[in-house]
Structure 1
Amino acid sequence: MSPTGDDITRGRRAPRTALRAGVAVAVVLAVATGGSWAAGLGPFARDEGPDPEALAQARAFLADWSADRLDAAGGRTTDPAGAAEILESFTAGLEISGPKLTAAPPEQATEGEDGTVTVPFTAKMPVTGLGTWTYRSTLPLREQDDGGWKVDWRLSLVHPRLSDTEKFRLERAETDQAEVTDRRGRTLSAGKLPSLAPITAHLDGTAGGGPRGAVRLVDRATGEVERTEAEFGDESAGAASDGPVRTTLDADWQAAAERALGEAGGKNAALVALRVDDGEVLAMANNPASGFNRAASGTYAPGSTFKIVTSSALLLKGAVAPGDVVDCPQKLTVGKEFTNVGDSSYPGATFREDFARSCNTAFISLRGKLADGELGEVARKYFGVGQEWHVGVPTYDGAVPVPGDETEKAAAMIGQGRVQANPLIMASVTATAVSGRFHQPSVTAGTEDGTSTEPLPEEVVTRLRDMMRATVTEGSATMLADLPGEVGAKTGTAEVSDDQENNGWLVAHRGNVAVACVVEEGLTGGGGAGPVVRSLLAAMPDDPA
């Protein structure tokens, strides 16, 4: 387990008032989990342009807002309680789930004569069941008496037209709901399977041309419409199709997945189960069940579950073999100090043992074996991560950016830093690793597949399967060892920020099923996500039809 970028310390610079342009470094917003990591990394520590700490605070605010950590986002402003309340009412009132908020490159940030730093950003707001509302706004930041930076809170930063006298209202046109069925033709009801709500909301009515609606700017006092900000659908929509919308989901697996999330102890969590041979999604469950579809649209640092991809990259170029000794010290410093979960160490461990026990320091020590962009290239070329997926519901399709420095590269080796994924992505990664071929996940039949990938060599697949099996029999996923069938797995513990507990991850495969689960603030992969995955696989011992 490695500390977040917030542990990096830098000398403070005196406030500046001259307007200066340009930190020539591309910024990829670490939306959601891991945002505070991006806030502290070295690539932004430049002595030109607006203060990098102001830019980092802007990215962290947007990351918290994107991840629905609204209290944390509010805490980064000059009005914590008021900001959190407005962000909540804005996203909930407009039925926005999984917003994607992206800061402009640093060279577009400006510094005013009064020292205020202004950071432009793009907002992509998915309105449940309708479409995405995209607009641009700006974040003003002001240096505080303690030398830190805060977002200077005002309504207009949420949207330029939001004010004390105007607000937004979502209007939906009446449409007939289409029946939604599982893979065997059984009707799926969000009433009986609550986690289906964000999925069926997108599918309902789509077979008849799509739902219609609009976001209107209205007068707060009179409710009179002043302008239309976004429109969705067309006039031909409104009638459901002649038949039901058939999905790839399996009602039994979906029910078992929703019950399994009860093992998360009431924490925010998400789970995906899909078929290895074709990528068809069997279950997609979230806790809480309504609102944000964390399973497919969440953006999290995947932690050590991403070592499946890192191992693939190393094995593909013959940089290491499972039996090679790769020492696992307790600590390793690469710009900052990285440690293992529980400060463990395994002197003389083989690479296979490093994988099974999830040794961070061993993996980081191999970073020189890979070119800076190689990890992202392997993720995209073999696993489809970062390509555009057409699943049938809105998704976030992952990111593995080229690292900006050695610290960031070290973090990426263990699925931290700016690496971003969600349970749908990691279930797919698991299926690809154990079958050798990427299949675009799907929730509905006939989805467009514009991805382009190559198969993993058979030798790499064999080695990955062996290492994942060792993780169950002798490593960090032994809680799955007594389940029937040959289960393979990988745990992950992903750090978030200084004021939040670690997220727990676990991915697993058995037969023709791959599963991925994240439990926010689950502390560890085995302790947080392990019981959830175990519950699902114990309840569903056979492969789906």
Structure 2
Amino acid sequence: MGQRKRIAERRNTKPAVIGGMIAVVVAGAGFGVYALYDGGAAADDGTRTTSTGADQKAKDVPSGPLSATEVTTTARTFLTAWQQGKVAAAAAATDDSAAATTLLTGYTKDAHIKDVTLTPGTPTGDKVPFTVKGTVAYKDTSKPLTYDSALTVVRREADGKPLVGWHSSVVHPDLQDGDTLVTGESGTPPIKAVDRDGGALTEDRYPSVGPVLDGLREKYGKTAGGKAGVELRVIRGKSSKSSESSESSDKTLLELSKGTPGTVKTTLDPALQAAAEKQVAEKARSSVVVLRPSTGEILAAANASKGFNTAFQGSLAPGSTMKVITSSLLIEKGLASADKKHPCPKYFTYGGWKFQNDDKFQIKNGTFKASFARSCNTAFISQAPKLKNDDLTKQAQQVFGLGLNNWAIGVPSFDGAVPVQSQAQMAASLIGQGAVRMNPLNMASVSATIQAGTFHQPYLVSPSVDNRKLATASRTMSATALSQLRELMSYTAAYGTAAEAMSGVTGNVGAKTGSAEVDGQKKPNGWFTAYRGDLAAAGVVQQGGHGGDTAGPIVAALLKAGG
């Protein structure tokens, strides 16, 4: 009786629910377990388990590339809602409704843009361009506004729904995430920036100066004697860094009424600036800076790419131009001397990394001068075991004034970075790879320091204008190191990797080439730094290849022009 009761109890057991999955459990524990874990396999007696809710839901979630219909429909939904002023509906069509709500609300309330018409263009894949036409109206002043923008449609992972991938640039291409649009009486009066001779600096005349003019206005607008007008402006979101060197400048998009500009005089030389603009216009992704070593005055700065001032704010591995700084360190520590024998093997392994020279060359029984002139990587890497982790960092900071985030040139700039590293990364830093980061302003300053014998912080606006304090180096390099570095750079300009570019550049000259490998790039960034008399210059051509072939002719042309 007891046995029959237990069998009956087993047969009357209700389906077990585990994690949302129903498993039909019949007589025999073994079969019950099999049915539970097999995910829907047929049972011997014809009983079949069902697919789980989660499995079915996963099958229902759209995946894969977006269809043309999904892209156009999503874009139309968003643009229509935005045009109609339905902020909630427009934001709901994005993958970040909170951020979209904030910016789209401010588009009307803070930027005072009304009567908006949004016209989509022809999609390219998941990207849809569109044209914006509207009116900016503030008090009794109004002005038409027209610009082009674009959006990208993405598929939400959770449910596969196509949505507009939200970034602030969707609203206006000059917006970065965290920025806002505001129309009103500008808190910063306009400026009239002039060169060292009093000539006006305008984007029409000098295409590269747009970011410079924005930076000058932000810093000097309130003190230059001008009166504010009414403008539509991009107000930059503040990053965690607050120094002059880390912030992008606010940007004027539309001037509704003119203010009265104040005048800000810069150190730019009109002839050299015009020459620099011409040089970068002929080489894509190029940037260049020219300095006066004896004072630190910036005489020219130009970028082929508009919008971001790579010349002052770029953060790029400098490649072998860094060997100027490394050489000063090795000479001062007695680890190298211009005319003494120095190793340049094909390979050198340190910290688990195997380093090699370009084309795997070697110099047998050569001097340090020969290694510098030919840019032998292993000549520098081979000295890594004899150095402390912070030696290069200290040399860059103490002698060349780099990496301390304290330059005050008059507009935003990046002061270079040579972080303390160990093992292979420290070795890579010796040849300008690893985590070392520079821009043409920094590397022009390096050549200027060698030419002048001491560091003079570069500046675009004289410190006498606002009584600001310029950065200084804590020490000068030894007379022996300075003399040998000048010899090394002079020899390289005449007989080394810089000789072809520097051909025809006469007088007291010195140079160093560089090529910096970048992950994901087929060609390295080409670098070149040099001096001639009381001029120093440096340039970079991103993805340009060897610096002597790409950046070298740009720098050499400007040294000739300034002579």
What is the TM-score when the length of structure 1 is the normalising length?
0.62
8 Å CA contact 2:194–2:265 kept in 1: the answer is yes
Match of 1:489, SS state, is strand
> Is 2:280 the counterpart of 1:261?
yes
- In structure 1, what is the Cα distance between the partners aligned to 2:272 and 2:250? 33
Match of 1:513, as an amino acid?
L
Q: Could you tell me the percent identity over the aligned residues?
A: 39
Given candidates 441, 444, 465, the residue that maps to 1:427 is 444
Q: 1:485 maps to which residue?
A: 507
- Give the 3 Å change call, closer, same or farther, for CA 179–157 of structure 1 in structure 2: closer
- In structure 2, what is the Cα distance between the partners aligned to 1:291 and 1:157? 18
Match of 1:502, as an amino acid?
P
Match of 2:415, SS state, is coil
How far apart are residue 485 of structure 1 and its match?
Answer: 1.8
8 Å CA contact 2:276–2:301 kept in 1: the answer is yes
Match of 2:549, SS state, is helix
Q: 1:365 maps to which residue?
A: 382
8 Å CA contact 1:263–1:532 kept in 2: the answer is no
Match of 2:399, SS state, is helix
Match of 1:285, SS state, is strand
Q: 1:41 maps to which residue?
A: none
How far apart are residue 429 of structure 1 and its match?
Answer: 1.0
> Is 2:348 the counterpart of 1:332?
yes
8 Å CA contact 1:323–1:351 kept in 2: the answer is yes
> Is 2:408 the counterpart of 1:395?
no
> Is 2:222 the counterpart of 1:209?
yes
- In structure 1, what is the Cα distance between the partners aligned to 2:494 and 2:295? 27
How far apart are residue 269 of structure 1 and its match?
Answer: 1.3
Q: 1:448 maps to which residue?
A: 469
- In structure 2, what is the Cα distance between the partners aligned to 1:364 and 1:167? 42
- In structure 2, what is the Cα distance between the partners aligned to 1:420 and 1:216? 24
- Give the 3 Å change call, closer, same or farther, for CA 190–231 of structure 1 in structure 2: closer
Q: 1:282 maps to which residue?
A: 299
8 Å CA contact 1:436–1:457 kept in 2: the answer is no
Given candidates 187, 195, 209, the residue that maps to 2:200 is 187
> Is 2:335 the counterpart of 1:313?
no
Match of 2:396, SS state, is helix
How far apart are residue 231 of structure 1 and its match?
Answer: 12
Report the more deviating stretch, 498-507 or 488-497: 498-507
Q: 2:429 maps to which residue?
A: 412
- In structure 1, what is the Cα distance between the partners aligned to 2:207 and 2:402? 28
How far apart are residue 191 of structure 1 and its match?
Answer: 0.8
- Give the 3 Å change call, closer, same or farther, for CA 461–240 of structure 1 in structure 2: farther
- In structure 2, what is the Cα distance between the partners aligned to 1:216 and 1:380? 30
- In structure 2, what is the Cα distance between the partners aligned to 1:273 and 1:330? 35
Note the alpha carbon deviations across 1:79-114, whole angstroms, 9 max, x for none: xxx99xxxxxxxxxx9xxxxxxxxxxxxxxxxxxxx
How far apart are residue 272 of structure 1 and its match?
Answer: 0.3
- In structure 2, what is the Cα distance between the partners aligned to 1:155 and 1:353? 54
Given candidates 243, 249, 271, the residue that maps to 2:268 is 249
How far apart are residue 273 of structure 1 and its match?
Answer: 0.2
Match of 1:204, SS state, is helix
- In structure 2, what is the Cα distance between the partners aligned to 1:452 and 1:535? 30
Q: 1:377 maps to which residue?
A: 394
- Give the 3 Å change call, closer, same or farther, for CA 191–172 of structure 1 in structure 2: farther
- Give the 3 Å change call, closer, same or farther, for CA 531–216 of structure 1 in structure 2: closer
- In structure 2, what is the Cα distance between the partners aligned to 1:168 and 1:440? 31
> Is 2:297 the counterpart of 1:297?
no
Q: 2:524 maps to which residue?
A: 502
Match of 1:287, as an amino acid?
A
Note the alpha carbon deviations across 1:206-259, whole angstroms, 9 max, x for none: 534178956599xxxxxxxxxxxx9979xxxx9656x52000111111011111
Q: 1:350 maps to which residue?
A: 367
Match of 1:442, as an amino acid?
Y
8 Å CA contact 2:313–2:439 kept in 1: the answer is yes
How far apart are residue 345 of structure 1 and its match?
Answer: 1.8
Q: 1:459 maps to which residue?
A: 480
- Give the 3 Å change call, closer, same or farther, for CA 167–457 of structure 1 in structure 2: closer
Match of 1:394, as an amino acid?
P
Q: 1:323 maps to which residue?
A: 339
How far apart are residue 352 of structure 1 and its match?
Answer: 0.9
- Give the 3 Å change call, closer, same or farther, for CA 321–216 of structure 1 in structure 2: closer
How far apart are residue 497 of structure 1 and its match?
Answer: 1.1
Q: 1:56 maps to which residue?
A: none
Q: 1:48 maps to which residue?
A: none
8 Å CA contact 1:314–1:369 kept in 2: the answer is no
8 Å CA contact 1:207–1:240 kept in 2: the answer is no
How far apart are residue 393 of structure 1 and its match?
Answer: 0.8
How far apart are residue 333 of structure 1 and its match?
Answer: 2.3
Note the alpha carbon deviations across 1:131-180, whole angstroms, 9 max, x for none: xxxxxxxxxxxxxxxxxxxxxx9968999xxxxxx996422545553211
How far apart are residue 328 of structure 1 and its match?
Answer: 1.2
Given candidates 531, 538, 541, the residue that maps to 1:519 is 541
Match of 2:334, as an amino acid?
G
Given candidates 206, 211, 214, the residue that maps to 1:198 is 211
Match of 1:333, SS state, is strand
- Give the 3 Å change call, closer, same or farther, for CA 171–322 of structure 1 in structure 2: same
- Give the 3 Å change call, closer, same or farther, for CA 206–375 of structure 1 in structure 2: closer
How far apart are residue 336 of structure 1 and its match?
Answer: 2.2
8 Å CA contact 2:214–2:249 kept in 1: the answer is no
- Give the 3 Å change call, closer, same or farther, for CA 519–172 of structure 1 in structure 2: farther
- Give the 3 Å change call, closer, same or farther, for CA 192–342 of structure 1 in structure 2: same
Match of 1:464, SS state, is helix
- Give the 3 Å change call, closer, same or farther, for CA 337–498 of structure 1 in structure 2: farther
Looking at CA atoms only, which structure, 1 or 2, has the larger radius of gyration? Answer: 2
8 Å CA contact 1:276–1:514 kept in 2: the answer is yes
How far apart are residue 297 of structure 1 and its match?
Answer: 0.3
Alignment of 1:78-157 (within 5 A): none
May I ask how many residue pairs the two structures share in their alignment? 367
Give the number of the structure with larger relative contact order, counting CA–CA contacts within 8 Å between residues 6 or more apart: 1
8 Å CA contact 1:481–1:487 kept in 2: the answer is no
- In structure 2, what is the Cα distance between the partners aligned to 1:487 and 1:524? 20
How far apart are residue 535 of structure 1 and its match?
Answer: 2.2
8 Å CA contact 1:468–1:489 kept in 2: the answer is yes
Match of 2:507, as an amino acid?
G
- In structure 2, what is the Cα distance between the partners aligned to 1:168 and 1:232? 9
What is the TM-score when the length of structure 2 is the normalising length?
0.60
8 Å CA contact 1:262–1:532 kept in 2: the answer is no
- In structure 2, what is the Cα distance between the partners aligned to 1:508 and 1:517? 9
- In structure 1, what is the Cα distance between the partners aligned to 2:371 and 2:536? 22
Q: 1:142 maps to which residue?
A: none
Give the gaps of 5 or more residues in structure 2.
Answer: 1-93, 96-105, 107-162, 170-176, 238-247, 252-257
8 Å CA contact 1:435–1:461 kept in 2: the answer is no
Q: 2:492 maps to which residue?
A: 471
How far apart are residue 370 of structure 1 and its match?
Answer: 2.0
Note the alpha carbon deviations across 1:482-508, whole angstroms, 9 max, x for none: 222232100001000144420000000
- In structure 2, what is the Cα distance between the partners aligned to 1:476 and 1:320? 20
- Give the 3 Å change call, closer, same or farther, for CA 397–463 of structure 1 in structure 2: same
